[in-house]
Amino acid sequence: MKKVMALVIMLGASVVMFAQGYQKNVKLKQEEVPVAVVQAFQNDFSSISGELTKGSWSVNAEEKNGVLKPITYAYKAKRGDAKFEARYTPDGTLDSAKGSDKDKSSSGEKK
């Protein structure tokens, strides 16, 4: 009886997980990133753009029923010996930044 209950619980949990979808991280070319996100990044970090090397874009998206829905876009790069990362929502709002502060002249708030 215990084995049957454990099997039912595991099956139920797997159905719930499948129904919720899962998150996927996909690398992107800059041309594939929404214009609002790229422009926000350029405005927020224009003062350090020359210091960033080996940068790449990625999207963290949730897949549900075969459809990808973007959650955040991330730009990761090196800044000297340190790592830099900026995450944006699909509408271009800065979600988080590591390795530098947002430029003071740009609008919006850094979380």
Model confidence band, residue 109 (pLDDT cutoffs 50, 70, 90): very low
Find residue 77's DSSP bridge partners: 84
DSSP code of residue 111 = -
- Give the pLDDT confidence of 6-43 residue by residue, as tens digits: 555 665 555 555 556 678 888 999 999 999 999 999 99
Name all domains of the chain by residue range, CATH numbers in brackets.
Answer: 22-98 (3.10.450.360)
End-to-end CA distance of the chain: 51
- Give the pLDDT confidence of 58-73 residue by residue, as tens digits: 999 998 888 889 999 9
Cα 82 from Cα 76, distance rounded (Å): 11
Concatenate the DSSP letters of all residues of 9-24 into one string: HHHHHHHHHHHH-EEE
The overall average pLDDT reported for the chain is: 82
**pTM for the full predicted model:** 0.71
